[in-house]
Amino acid sequence: MASALGATVVAAVANPSSADKNWPGTQPPLNSDVMTLDSVKPNVETIAAARPDIILATTAQQSYVDLYDQLTNIAPTIIYPTAAFADSGEDLLRLIGKALGKEDQANTLISAANKEVTDFAASNPSLKNSTYAFGQYAGGTLYLLAAKENPSTRFLTSLGLQLSPEVAQLAAGGTANGFVTLAPELFSSLGTADHILVSTPGDPEGTQFRAVPLVSELGDNLQVISTDLAGALLTANPSSVKYLIDQLQPALA
């Protein structure tokens, strides 16, 4: 978001799966020499050495938020207003725009993204009111997004889709950052969704996931997506809308 608003980024979290260390959807891409931070393990010394005027941690892992007091000693630090992965991408962009003195640019970006979403929805009327499930499979466990108040759900809803009611019901027992965990014997919850989007880290084709008996019955409704796309969905915001639409188009066809 900072890059899209034209801010000068002096340090950023690196994407370990990308040659240039950028995260998908970053436009314009950042120079690889500023991608010096780990996504999970904060290095306060490295952050301080970059001498930032402001620190943006609106989509940071909890390990960064836990160091809020230390970070604010380096520079004013902006974190999420509500909870991790709960605020809308539009709200976070407005917050960052205000912090950077780029509110007009933020509003322009939001308007352009809204038009892209509207155009996509109009061109794909069959998606309207179809249902979806979105999650990640790792270590024999399925982490399924079940909460409605998060960037992913808001974005997919804006395209016309609806969170599968059966999946949404799973949130009644509580979630962790919007996710519930399911053991293989409970994977039948996926069967009611028209579109099933699952990333499988370390197994790009999702071979192990597809081999689970209840999963093998899902047929073409299941689309194994890249971890990069899944990550971008988790932090969906106006600056990444074009990337998300381009990547999701074939998966939702």
| Same domain, residue pair 107 and 160 | no
Residue 106 sits in the same domain as residue 196 = no
- pLDDT value, residue 67: 97
- Tell me, yes or no, whether 186 lies in a domain: yes
Q: Which of 120, 142, 176 is the last residue of a domain?
A: 120
pLDDT of 176 reads: 86
Q: Would 9 be classed as within a structural domain?
A: no
- Our CA angle for 161, 231, 134, nearest 5°, is 35
Token pair recorded at residue 33: 């020499």
Domain count, the chain: 2
How is residue 74 written in tokens? Answer: 């380096």
Whether residues 115 and 133 fall in one domain: no
Please list the rounded mean pLDDT of every run of 10 residues in the chain (253 residues).
Answer: 96 92 91 95 97 96 95 96 88 96 97 97 94 95 90 93 94 88 89 95 94 91 94 93 95 86
Looking at the structure, do residues 97 and 45 belong to the same domain, yes or no? yes
Same domain, 138 and 109: no
Q: Per-residue b/e over 162-192, b at no fewer than 16 CB within 10 Å?
A: bbbebbbebbeeebeebbbebeeeebebbbe
Q: Is residue 195 part of a domain?
A: yes
Residue 93: predicted pLDDT:
97
Domain end, chosen from 83, 101, 120, is at: 120
Residues 234 and 153 in one domain: yes
In this structure, the answer to whether residues 81 and 154 fall within a common structural domain is: no
* CATH code, 104: 3.40.50.1980
Residue 142 belongs to what domain range?
126-252
Provide the pLDDT for residue 178: 87
Q: What is the pLDDT of residue 253?
A: 78
Whether 235 and 136 share a structural domain: yes
Q: Which residues pair with 223 in a beta bridge?
A: 197
Query: Domain end: 78, 98, 120, which one?
Result: 120
Q: What is the pTM of this model?
A: 0.90
- Whether 75 and 137 share a structural domain: no
Q: What is the CA radius of gyration of the chain?
A: 19
Q: Is residue 25 part of a domain?
A: no
Task: Write down the residue that tokens 């038009």 correspond to.
Answer: 115
